[in-house]
Amino acid sequence: MTENYFKTYPNKEGFFNEYGGAFIPPMLEEEMKKITDAYYAISKSHSFISELRSIRKHYQGRPTPVYYCNRLSDKYGGRIYLKREDLNHTGAHKLNHCMGEALLAKHLGKKKLIAETGAGQHGVALATAAAYFGLECEIHMGEVDMAKERPNVVRMRILGAKVVPVTHGLKTLKEAVDSAFEAYMKDPINTIYCIGSVVGPHPFPMMVRDFQRVVGIEAKEQFFDMTGELPDNVVACVGGGSNAMGIFSAFLDDSECSLYGVEPGGRSLEHGEHAATMTLGKPGIIHGFKCYTLQDENGEPSPVYSVASGLDYPGVGPEHSMLKDLKKVNYDVVSDKETIDAFFELSRLEGIIPALESAHAVAYAFKLAQENPQKSILVNLSGRGDKDLDFVVENYEMPE
Ligand SMILES: *Cc1c(COP(=O)(O)O)cnc(C)c1O
């Protein structure tokens, strides 16, 4: 039945029921159609599948383990397990889709990968993939973000990527998207625009999901080997939604597993203080696709905020939008404060420093564990916290 789901969603036009699609200029329509057709053909070829499998094993270090958290489970109740995507090469799940996108680019004969980045995580993963395949890489980044995220700018440059500073408007992510897009439109034959999550026009939400499915496939088998059963609960944080789609995709048909997507509740649920797109947003069109979105009356994206820069996006993947309406996945929020507490708890009790994005999922797991101490919980630990250390010690007090 699961394969049937993946054949049904998205449909040929890239819709997950009413969400998704491709609301883009005619010139891009043709290019997206080419990428879609090539993806359908190439992704089923033996050479593509076996090359990706080999990369995952020998370069990325997959499969990543599933780990049982003894001390956390003792303290909070429940049986808490982590899928360790923080142990994937470069320290997060993003490389799963970047390697897939770059491999597709190579098969398409492209010479250059283009993308925007906000906090720099997508830029670093893509620069890594470009180095691996010997492709050029151009990352557009707002000047304000470049100053904030200097270590990632340095990483991208060391990896051989060209970082293009974006100096107009607010000099952040939105302007970087426009700038990267413009650069891509100048030479769509030799370049490919690599999107960093399950968002954007068709075929990206589908492709990125497919490249992330490896997380769920591995985790389901590993969890079953360890326990002889399926998890009662599966939890993942949701920014654009790629790590969550990766793990949820293996459990969509298992009605005994409850799935939870955790959104950033930020400082409060007041306008501009959070990025709880699905909890508080409504359907609309953003960046070329339809999804739940936080927008004002004029359709302009609302300002969003989260302590985790990888989660502050005013839209969300179209597949998540559909799964919310179908009630297949529960979406809820966790605040900055709960996130920081979970960040320290996991560090102190298990010796694992999580990314602030992933700490949202950990914080939610604590709540589930306390409500239902007899149940098991599988958390997708999407990344490690090295990138967040300076920010946390500068802004929060160390617990006793
Ligand atoms: C970027 C990022 C996220 C958010 O992206 P999704 O597409 O929602 O998965 C989550 N965790 C980490 C570690 C990230 O770097």
Tokens of 280: 């508080």
CB 176 within 8 A of CB 140: yes
The pick from 242, 277, 334, 346 for probing ligand 1's pocket by mutation, whose C-beta has the most ligand atoms within 8 angstroms, reads 242
Tokens of 229: 């059963």
Q: Which atom of ligand 1 is nearest to the CA of 358?
A: 11
Measured CA to CA, the distance from residue 238 to residue 322 in angstroms comes to 14
Measured CA to CA, the distance from residue 287 to residue 87 in angstroms comes to 31
CB 235 within 8 A of CB 365: yes
From the number of C-beta atoms within 10 Å of its C-beta (0-12, 13-18, 19+), residue 51 rates as: middle
Determine the residue type at 386.
Answer: D
The residue whose two tokens read 């309406």 is 325
Distance (angstroms) between ligand 1 centre and the Cα of 263 equals 11
The stretches of the chain forming alpha helices (DSSP H) are 2-8, 26-42, 46-55, 70-76, 94-107, 121-133, 143-148, 150-158, 173-186, 204-227, 242-248, 277-280, 318-325, 336-350, 356-371, 389-395
Tokens of 284: 């609309």
Distance (angstroms) between ligand 1 centre and the Cα of 241 equals 7
69 is catalytic: yes
Distance (angstroms) between ligand 1 centre and the Cα of 122 equals 9
Q: What is the pLDDT of residue 59?
A: 98
Q: What is the pLDDT of residue 174?
A: 82
Encode burial over 67-76: b for 16+ CB neighbours within 10 A, e otherwise: bebeebbeeb
The protein residue whose alpha carbon is closest to atom 10 in ligand 1 is 357
3-state DSSP call for residue 60?
A: helix
Q: Which atom of ligand 1 is nearest to the CA of 85?
A: 13
Q: What is the pLDDT of residue 148?
A: 83
Q: What is the pLDDT of residue 177?
A: 87
From the number of C-beta atoms within 10 Å of its C-beta (0-12, 13-18, 19+), residue 393 rates as: exposed
CB 140 within 8 A of CB 179: yes
Q: Which atom of ligand 1 is nearest to the CA of 383?
A: 13
Dihedral through CA 62, CA 63, CA 69, CA 73, nearest 10?
Answer: 130
The protein residue whose alpha carbon is closest to atom 7 in ligand 1 is 242
Alpha carbon distances (Å) from 155 to 146, 328, 387: 12, 39, 11
Q: What is the pLDDT of residue 297?
A: 81
Alpha carbon distances (Å) from 4 to 138, 246, 277, 387: 37, 17, 28, 39
Q: Which atom of ligand 1 is nearest to the CA of 245?
A: 9
Distance (angstroms) between ligand 1 centre and the Cα of 27 equals 30
Q: What is the pLDDT of residue 193?
A: 95
Encode burial over 364-376: b for 16+ CB neighbours within 10 A, e otherwise: bbbbbbeeeeeeb
Q: Which atom of ligand 1 is nearest to the CA of 246?
A: 9
Distance (angstroms) between ligand 1 centre and the Cα of 92 equals 8
Tokens of 193: 């625009």
Q: Which atom of ligand 1 is nearest to the CA of 242?
A: 7
Number of Cβ within 10 Å of residue 23's Cβ equals 14
The protein residue whose alpha carbon is closest to atom 2 in ligand 1 is 310
Out of 46, 58, 69, 274, the active site residue is: 69
Measured CA to CA, the distance from residue 111 to residue 139 in angstroms comes to 14
The pick from 382, 384, 386 for probing ligand 1's pocket by mutation, whose C-beta has the most ligand atoms within 8 angstroms, reads 382
Out of 89, 93, 97, 360, the active site residue is: 93
Measured CA to CA, the distance from residue 369 to residue 18 in angstroms comes to 35
Measured CA to CA, the distance from residue 263 to residue 284 in angstroms comes to 18
The number of CA neighbours under 13 Å toward the Cβ of 234 is 29
The pick from 82, 94, 387 for probing ligand 1's pocket by mutation, whose C-beta has the most ligand atoms within 8 angstroms, reads 94
Domains and CATH numbers, the chain: 61-92+213-395 (3.40.50.1100)
The pLDDT profile of the chain, 400 residues, written as one tens digit per residue, is 467 899 999 999 999 999 999 999 898 899 899 999 999 999 999 999 999 999 999 999 999 999 999 999 999 999 999 999 999 999 999 999 999 999 999 999 999 999 999 889 999 999 999 999 999 999 999 998 898 889 999 999 999 999 999 999 888 888 898 899 899 989 989 999 999 999 999 999 999 999 999 999 999 999 999 999 999 999 999 999 999 999 999 999 999 999 999 999 999 999 999 999 999 999 999 999 999 999 888 888 889 999 998 998 999 999 999 999 999 999 999 999 999 999 999 999 999 999 999 999 999 999 999 999 999 999 999 999 999 999 999 999 999 8
Distance (angstroms) between ligand 1 centre and the Cα of 42 equals 26
List all residues whose CB is within 6 A of at least one atom of ligand 1: 92, 94, 121, 197, 237-243, 310-311, 355, 357-358, 382-383
Distance (angstroms) between ligand 1 centre and the Cα of 82 equals 16
